């Protein structure tokens, strides 16, 4: 049972344009969401997070939007740069019954082209 | 920022042998560490939560006798894959939790290949 889903396995964007990565979840107990960036054969690197009490969090070129009613979040990267090419994972955790255990999505491979 | 190391970064072992993977938080203390495994083109799957000084908590479907976890100090957790089989070949990643929820730092991972 995949509780966190990233339905797009890959995304290709031109440099300078906006990259939008999507994530859906099914567990209504999730109240904290994170995005990680991962290069091959390396561990994930934390990018940005959002609590369920917010609907938007911004950090530089990265903005995460949360739509609780739709159980959907998205990561916007603008402007996209070639160095952003990586696999992006969304992750979720629940305050009760799970501590800080993270449930990851399946990832989206982002390719930013020149 | 906080650094988490893993050793070894890759290992090849024969079927039936045991392999130990170390996870260290280099510049902070971690009362909780997590172990994940990732198959090619798949998500990171949490295997177990490792708490310093107590027994690890394993996720459903993970054999605790096969994947031995020891969190001996606030900076070190080890995962031992016992009697390894080819199906255990995977990418194992640990993470260490600092103080706040989003401060979970990941190690670089260990590629295990069992022949």
Contacts of A37 in chain B (CB under 8 A): none
Q: Is residue B35 less than 8 Å (CB to CB) from chain A? A: no
The 10s digit of each residue's pLDDT in B55-67 is 899 999 999 999 9
For residue B104, the model assigns a pLDDT of 80
pLDDT digits (tens, 9 = 90+) for A42-62: 889 989 999 999 999 999 999
Closest CA to B63 of B78, B76, B48: B48
> C-alpha angle A103/A107/A112, rounded to 5°?
145
Q: Which of A8-17, A26-35, A94-103 has the lowest mean pLDDT?
A: A94-103
State whether B46 and A44 contact (CB < 8 Å). Answer: no
Residue with tokens 């993977």: B21
Distance of CA B10 to the CA centre of its chain: 13
Cβ pair A49, A81 in contact under 8 A: no
Question: Is A46 in CB contact (< 8 Å) with chain B?
Answer: yes
- pLDDT higher than threshold 90 for residue A22: yes
Nearest CA in chain B to A39: B108
CB contact under 8 A, A34 and B34: no
What tokens were used for B72?
Answer: 């001996």
For range B10-23, the mean pLDDT: 96
Nearest CA in chain A to B102: A49
SS3 A3: coil
Distance CA A41, CA A20 (A): 24
Other CB atoms within 10 A of residue B111 CB: 14
Q: Among A66-70, A78-82, B93-97, where is mean pLDDT lowest?
A: B93-97
Rounded to 5°, the CA angle A15-A104-B15 comes to: 110
Residue among B46, B97, B106 minimizing CB distance to A43: B106
SS3 for B9-74 is: CEEEECCCCCEEEEEEECCCCCCEEEEEEECCCCCEEEEEEEECCCCCEECCCCCCCCEEEEEEEC
> Is the minimum CB–CB distance between B16 and chain A shorter than 8 Å?
no
pLDDT digits (tens, 9 = 90+) for B71-112: 888 899 999 999 999 999 999 999 998 765 556 889 999 999
Sheet holding B19-25, edge to edge: B4-7, B19-25, B76-81, B67-73
Per-residue pLDDT, B1: 64
- pLDDT reported for residue B101: 54
Cβ–Cβ pairs < 8 A, chains A and B: 59
Query: Based on C-alpha coordinates, what's the Rg of chain B?
Result: 13
Choose among A104, A70, A78: nearest CA to A17: A78
Contact (CB<8Å) B44/A104 = yes
Determine whether the interchain pair B45/A104 forms a contact, defined as Cβ–Cβ distance below 8 Å. yes
Kindly state the average pLDDT of the residues B29-54. 87
Return d(Cα A47, Cα A42) in angstroms, integer.
15
């Amino acid at each position: 049972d995949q509780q966190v889903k990233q339905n797009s396995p890959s995304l290709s964007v031109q440099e300078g344009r906006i990259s939008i990565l999507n994530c859906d979840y099914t567990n209504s107990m999730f109240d904290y969401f994170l995005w990680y960036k991962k290069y091959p054969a390396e561990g994930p690197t934390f990018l940005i997070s959002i609590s369920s009490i917010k609907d938007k969090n911004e950090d530089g070129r990265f903005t995460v939007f949360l739509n609780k009613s739709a159980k959907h979040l998205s990561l916007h990267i603008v402007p996209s740069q070639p160095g952003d090419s990586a696999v992006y994972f969304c992750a979720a955790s629940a305050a009760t019954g799970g501590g800080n255990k993270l449930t990851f999505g399946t990832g989206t491979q982002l390719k930013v082209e020149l | 920022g906080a650094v988490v190391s893993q050793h070894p970064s890759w290992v090849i072992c024969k079927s039936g042998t045991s392999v130990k993977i170390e996870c260290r938080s280099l510049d902070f203390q971690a009362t909780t560490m997590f172990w994940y495994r990732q198959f090619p083109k798949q998500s990171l799957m949490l295997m177990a939560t490792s708490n310093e000084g107590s027994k690890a908590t394993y996720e459903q479907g993970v054999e605790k006798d096969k994947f031995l976890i020891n969190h001996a100090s606030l900076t070190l957790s080890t995962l031992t894959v016992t009697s390894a089989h080819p199906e255990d070949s995977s990418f194992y990643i640990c993470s260490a939790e600092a103080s706040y929820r989003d401060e979970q730092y990941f190690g670089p991972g260990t590629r295990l290949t069992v022949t």
